[in-house]
Copies of this chain bind each other. A is one copy, B any other.
């Protein structure tokens, strides 16, 4: 058996054993481990990784000495040993957890403000494109990316993926055109898959990508199921699905930067019922020892985000016009963090979800943040190569990503963790810190003027406190110090859209 003697806290311990290869090792044998440290004891199931190798993984949450005991049904041997968990490295803050009901923090307490993007199958592109996507993510500073474990069949997604999750052969995709591709679905004949034999290379590639993301500080929001399918992966039996879910959980759950998205547009998966989703949610709760964040994404009707296994809302907008503005309502309804994982994409496609301007994308990010929630980015600019960030990754062509990076800096300067909307006498869009005591102490107010273009604004908080005022041009990414003010005061604005004003007690600004 192979393993390393030391692993950092929230790093991944992995043990690899040689075992039997006869029959179907994916189905016929199991491996599991028991990990014991001073402060935790964790049971984990492992998986068959091909070539006679079985693996079991574990993410330790505490420093110090751990012992393990591993057994496989392919052998009578019991593997025992120990390893040392060292302090986390500087950039390792642990997995993301929900904090104060509506917001997120890393397990070490560092606030985490999601500024995510979507590239559905970036990891199934060729190496060159995968590397380009990682470079783009680094430059943009996104800290979450949503992507699918299974390949995607859709507009602009007719090509073959670099690998398949199962052994077998796909239908002949050379007959597909942008005109006819909708006729080919998961029901299409011509596919020949063994849904009980995984291709470990497919999953190994995804793991490499998850690790690369981890190095960049990017959370991997894994979409486990989705309906854009011509291969039949969305129409397997319950037994086949369970095999898939168990394989996915045992492979991925020990990576600290994983989130679970049970499905993209769950309501379009016409072979799955609510009972199925509850079952998968239950599987995750039982088998993901790391307790990663869990949600499920809608096309039209929301899943019931108040279900106890769901950690946060993962929302696709239900209205063409009102999107991020609904965050307050959704917070009240679900009392969980609200992440808008699809609010249309910056781009120019002939599709209502894929052709908003960069300005509108950024406006939605700010609206969501002011209301105590989080928007997600995506890009769909048409190009002759058919490489769209939204699905393939590659290079960012739009204008919003820079402004999202700018917003993230503002987010990180929030006192405590996160903002909430504050009703004002006027119709102002105003947010204050979620934590009441910190709000009082700092006097922090963030006003956002969205598509409105006032040429000045008047303020009054109290007679005596001195406030530091900044005028923020959210599009041109400029923060201007407007000075210190007391009592009633007026702040000039340029009479353009997308301006914000940040006000803090002068005594609290370092």
Contact = CB atoms under 8 A, between A and B. Distances in A.
Contacts of A355: 449, 452-454
Given A321-B325, A322-B321, A322-B322, A426 B352 contact: yes
Interface in A277-321: 319-321
Interface residues of A, number: 30
B427 A348 contact: no
Give the most central of A321, A350, A357, A449: most B CB within 10 Å: A350
Contacts of A86: none
A389 to B, nearest CB: 16
A426 B349 CA distance: 13
A480 B325 CA distance: 36
B382 A348 contact: no
Given A320-B427, A321-B321, A321-B325, A356 B456 contact: no
Interface in A328-366: 348-353, 355-357, 360
Given A320-B427, A325-B321, A427-B320, A451 B356 contact: yes
**What does DSSP make chain A's interface, helix, strand, loop or mixed?**
loop
A457 interface: yes
Contacts of A319: 322
Contacts of A426: 351-352
Copies of this chain per assembly: 2
A232 B455 CA distance: 33
Nearest to A346: B453
B453 A357 contact: yes
B451 A348 contact: no
Nearest to A320: B427
A39 interface: no
A495 interface: yes
A497 interface: yes
The 8 A-B pairs of least Cβ separation, nearest first, read: A352-B427, A348-B455, A348-B495, A350-B454, A355-B452, A350-B457, A355-B454, A321-B322
